[in-house]
Amino acid sequence: MKKAVTIKDIAEQLNLSRNTVAKALNGQYVPEKTRETVLKKAQEMKYKSLNVNHIEMGGKKYRILLVSGKPLNNMNYFVPLIKSIENNCFEKNYELFQYTHNGSKTPFKEVSDYISDLKVDGIVAIECFDKEFIYKLINLGKPVCFNDFCTAEIRAEKNYDIIGTNDGQSISGIVRALHRKYKITRFSFVGDYRHCRSFQERYNGMITGILSVGGTHSRNEDILCSDLTFNYGNPEAIKTEILKLKYRPDCFICCNDFVARGVCNALKSLNVAVPLSAFVVGFDNVSEAVANEPYLTTFSVKKEFLGTETIRTLINRIENPDIPSRIITVSTTLVARDSTNRIIPE
């Protein structure tokens, strides 16, 4: 029986290291000429593990830059998202680079020079919510796909797309369900709705839900402190804000699970039992949702799918630069737990 060709055999034929050959065959970075040489030799030697995609994708190798507007602190949310982006780039043989833009501390010229030097074909933007930064990024003329977006209106018709979730629809749905089941009309939003588009849509979704069941609402019934100055991770700070409210809400709708856990802890210190005396709803379905009792009712976001859709959308824009800008919405799934008596909309 003829012995199977190994990476070592190919390396010896080309006088290259086994590590270099393995990288070329597995889609990792090596000089393009080296990759072509290795793939050609692997074909000649009938290397059985050679994936036909290795041969076909040589002409469509894109260089992609992942830009984050700040260090990504919510790791439970961002790790699977970024891992999915990395995996998709690896599978398609795209080169992926990462850059963290530290707000006003980083001159934009440094960002633009980095993009120019890398000769990137497209940009993925995560946690980029500063209007001025977004304008400058779009005006570089490179295709951009934003995960979430700023709350400000951006007057641009092409060069970028936005990937998000159906935040407003999700929240308005659970508001209606809680009203239908428990006749609740007194809701309070907790979080800085000006932080980003998704938070704003969650806030607007709550208002829409309240109005749709004949209720009324005003902003002095919410806790909307700027997250630039207010620590939503501090239960004592949240407790102070709850005590300022004229009426105690029947349900707290929170911008995410991190804030929702802080609300639960604040209510506990006020001797307000969840869910017996108040309901709490979060968003994202990350580890904070089940870190302590009561477990949080929340909305599950398919983070891996968001990563896949981000790369797919960006490549589509790279290859079709004249299409209008799009907002692509991914649905969420309600995860009903103890903090709302496991209520599920009918």
Tokens of 186: 């007194």
Q: What is the mean pLDDT of residues 317-323?
A: 91
Q: What is the CATH classification number for the domain harbouring 103?
A: 3.40.50.2300
308 vs 115: CA distance, rounded Å:
22
| Residues 66-123 pLDDT 10s | 999 877 766 788 889 999 999 999 888 899 999 988 766 678 898 899 999 999 999 9
Taking all residues of the chain, what is their mean pLDDT, rounded to a whole number? 89
* Amino acid 49: pLDDT: 65
Report the share of the chain in percent with pLDDT over 90: 66
Q: Is residue 97 part of a domain?
A: yes
278 domain-assigned: yes
pLDDT of residue 112: 92
- In this structure, is residue 199 part of a structural domain? yes
Which of 263, 265, 336, 262 lies closest to 297, judged by CA?
Answer: 336
**Residue-level pLDDT at 266:** 97
Is residue 1 in some structural domain? no
The confidence score (pLDDT) of residue 103 equals: 65
Instruction: Give the per-residue pLDDT at 6.
Output: 87
In a domain, 2, yes or no: no
Least confident of 20-29, 160-169, 221-230: 20-29
The DSSP secondary structure of 260-281, one letter per residue, reads HHHHHHHHHHTT--TTTT-EEE
**Residues 108, 13: one domain?**
no
Q: What is the pTM of this model?
A: 0.81
pLDDT in tens, 256-312: 999 999 999 999 999 999 999 999 999 999 999 999 999 999 999 999 999 999 999
Number of domains composing the chain = 3
Non-local (6+) Cβ contacts of 251 within 8 A are 175, 178, 184, 186, 187, 188, 278, 279, 280, 281, 340
Q: Point out the domain boundary residue: 43, 59, 75.
A: 59
- How confident is the model at residue 104, as a pLDDT? 64
- The DSSP H or E segment spanning 83 is helix 75-92
d(CA 62, CA 58) in angstroms, rounded, equals 10
Whether 47 is in a domain gets the answer: yes
Within this chain, do residues 185 and 225 fall inside the same structural domain, yes or no? yes
| CA proximity to 177, closest of 336, 330, 338, 332 | 336
143-146-152 Cα angle (round to 5): 110
- Residue 176 CA: distances (Å) to CA of 80, 272, 289: 31, 23, 22
Does one domain contain both 220 and 280?
yes
> Residues 178, 289: one domain?
yes
More confident residue, 219 or 57: 219
pLDDT of residue 102: 74
pLDDT at 344 over 80: no
CA 223 vs. chain centroid, Å, equals 24
Q: Is the pLDDT of residue 59 over 50?
A: no
Shared-domain flag, residues 77 and 175: no
* Of the residues 23, 43, 59, the one at which a domain ends: 59
Dihedral angle over CA of 270, 340, 245, 170, nearest 10:
150
Predicted local distance difference test score (pLDDT) of residue 50: 63
Domain boundary pick from 17, 32, 59: 59
Helices 257-269 and 235-244: crossing angle, nearest 10°?
70
Same domain, 215 and 269: yes
Considering the domain architecture, whether residues 171 and 282 belong to the same structural domain is answered as yes
The residue range of the domain holding 257 is: 167-301+334-340
Distance, in Å, from the CA atom of 242 to the CA atom of 70, rounded to the nearest integer, reads: 29
Based on the fold, state whether residues 280 and 201 are members of the same structural domain.
yes
* 291: in domain: yes
- Same domain flag for 178 and 294: yes
| pLDDT of the residue at 128 | 92
In the sheet that holds 95-100, the strands lie side by side as 95-100, 63-68, 122-126, 144-147, 160-165, 326-330
Same domain, 121 and 102: yes
Q: Identify which of 328, 322, 317, 325 has the alpha carbon closest to the alpha carbon of residue 122.
A: 317
Whether residue 346 lies inside any domain: the answer is no
pLDDT tier, 27 (very low <50, low <70, confident <90, very high otherwise): low
For residues 190 and 278, state if they share a domain: yes
| 28 in the same domain as 177 | no
| CB atoms near residue 4 (< 10 Å) | 10
Can you tell me the mean pLDDT for 156-163? 85
Place of tokens 């400058």: 136
